[in-house]
Amino acid sequence: MRVQEKIIEGLLWLSAAITVLVTASIIWVLLSESVQFFSEVSIVRFLTEKEWTPLFAEKKFGIMPLVAGTFLTTAIAIAVALPIGLTIAIYLNEYAHARFKTFIKPLLEVLATIPTVVYGFFALTVVTPFLQSFIPGLAGFNALSAGIVMGVMIIPMISSLSEDAISAVPRSLREAAYGMGSTRLQTAFGVMVPAASSGILVSVILAISRAVGETMIVAIAAGQQPRLTLNPLVPIETITTYIVQVSMGDVPHGSLEYRTIFAAGMTLFVFTFLLNNLSFWIKKKYQEKYD
């Protein structure tokens, strides 16, 4: 009996330990291939060259155009999702009836369950033609419509996390504001949002991290032309799209071209890892404590 209990506990422990193994494998895979990549291409070239053309005859290995593309689509997505998501969070907390809230929250979550390849189709075939009708210079592939659609996708992420943060602020603070004669709007922006600021910040950081790693929307709608630009109207390429582009072609395993996707993946991993841990740190350090 005791032996059996110990064996079961051991197996359960093993299952939990596998998660550490997964992290270790990810880091090992990215590092080992990147190290070989950087033995052929200096890290200075990688960080400072202004062109990314590893698949061409004349190879340039500057990651900056891919980073710029990723940054651009992410910035557009956040510019769409933050104002809308935060307004929804405030509206549901300060204005809406409890019954409306329980009805609308699952509906908003539907936005997050749609597969991203479907959003990509939407960006390419609906949003881009629509935007082209009043932005004449808009190319068929562009960062703008990919970013906007990505923003729609992450609205529920910002709204639900921010809403949790705002509803964790104690009632007494809200009632004190009302007692001073504030309107709901003044209460929201004068008291509730500042009190929940760390939680709202965490929601935004996690949304950024999600947008940086998003692949299919940008692969379908933003183009495959690495370009060091902040112009949202022209085709660009993100880090994730580049990895997809190489995976679709027939680059031989073990070649320098093959290793570029691991160097690009390493860059992506570092970004999202830093963002995620920044959010954990803020959550732990600045968690508002009320009694």
Partner 1 sequence: MTNSEKNRLKDKAFQVFGIFCTFIGLVVLAIFLIDIVIEGIGRIDWDFLTSLPSRRAARAGILTAWAGTLWILVLSALIAFPLGIAAGIYLEEYAKKTKLSDFLEINIANLAGVPSIIYGLLGLELFVRFMHLGPVLLVGALTLSLLILPIVIVTTREAIKAVPRTIRDGSFALGASKWQTVWNQVLPASFGGILTGVILALSRAVGEAAPLIVIGALAYVPFVPSSPMDEFTVLPIQIFNWTSRPQAAFLTNAAAAIIVLLLITFLLNGIAVYLRHRQQKKIKW
For partner 1, the binding residues in 258-277 under the rule CB under 8 A are 261-262, 265, 268-269, 272-273, 275-277
Taking the least distance from each CB to partner 1, the nearer of 38 and 91 is: 91
DSSP state of 56: S
Question: What mask, x for binding partner 1 by CB under 8 A, covers residues 39 to 68?
Answer: ------------------------------
Taking the least distance from each CB to partner 1, the nearer of 44 and 249 is: 249
Give least dist CB 230 to partner 1, A. 22
Taking the least distance from each CB to partner 1, the nearer of 8 and 55 is: 8
What is the length of the chain? 291
Find the binder of partner 1 among 56, 107, 171, 255 (CB under 8 A).
Answer: 107
Give least dist CB 58 to partner 1, A. 26
Residue for token pair 């557009």: 76
Distance CA 58, CA 78 (A): 36
Taking the least distance from each CB to partner 1, the nearer of 18 and 50 is: 18
Distance CA 13, CA 77 (A): 40
DSSP string, 133-197: TT-TT--SS-HHHHHHHHHHHHHHHHHHHHHHHHHTS-HHHHHHHHHTT--HHHHIIIIIHHHTH
Distance CA 78, CA 84 (A): 10
Find the binder of partner 1 among 44, 98, 102, 113 (CB under 8 A).
Answer: 113
By the rule CB under 8 A, 249 interacts with partner 1: no
Which structure tokens are listed for 288? 């508002």
Which structure tokens are listed for 267? 């860059």
Find the binder of partner 1 among 51, 53, 59, 104 (CB under 8 A).
Answer: 104
By the rule CB under 8 A, 278 interacts with partner 1: no
By the rule CB under 8 A, 141 interacts with partner 1: no
For partner 1, the binding residues in 5-34 under the rule CB under 8 A are 5, 8-9, 11-20, 22-23, 25-26, 29-30, 33
Taking the least distance from each CB to partner 1, the nearer of 17 and 50 is: 17
Which structure tokens are listed for 58? 């004349």
Q: In whole angstroms, how far apart are CA 270 and each of 102, 256, 273?
A: 38, 21, 5
Taking the least distance from each CB to partner 1, the nearer of 25 and 48 is: 25
Distance CA 47, CA 64 (A): 7
Q: In whole angstroms, how far apart are CA 126 and each of 108, 119, 256?
A: 21, 10, 38
Find the binder of partner 1 among 36, 38, 64, 118 (CB under 8 A).
Answer: 118
By the rule CB under 8 A, 124 interacts with partner 1: yes
Question: Which residues, other chains included, contact 14 with Cβ-Cβ below 8 Å and sequence gap of 6+?
Answer: none
For partner 1, the binding residues in 169-228 under the rule CB under 8 A are 183-186, 188, 206, 209, 212-216, 219-220
Find the binder of partner 1 among 54, 69, 156, 235 (CB under 8 A).
Answer: 156
